[in-house]
Amino acid sequence: MVQTTNRFFDEVARLMNDAAGVAQGVRREFETLFRSQAERILRDLDIVQREEFEAVKDMARLAREENETLKARIAALEARPAAVTPPGSASPDANPRDTPSPGAHPTDFSSPGVNPGGF
The answer to the question of residue 103 being in a domain is no
The 10s digit of each residue's pLDDT in 74-92 is: 999 999 876 545 556 555 5
Residues 53, 67 within the same domain: yes
Q: End-to-end distance of the chain based on CA atoms, in angstroms?
A: 119
Number of H helices, E strands in the chain: 2, 0
Residues 32, 15 within the same domain: yes
Average pLDDT value for the chain:
78
Q: How many domains does the chain have?
A: 2
Residues 39, 53 within the same domain: no
Check residue 58 and give its pLDDT: 97
Residues 19, 43 within the same domain: yes
Average pLDDT over residues 13-17: 89
The answer to the question of residue 93 being in a domain is no
Share of the chain above pLDDT 70, in %: 64
Query: Is the pLDDT assigned to residue 2 strictly greater than 60?
Result: no
Check residue 61 and give its pLDDT: 98
Domain that holds residue 27: 9-47
Residues 13, 40 within the same domain: yes
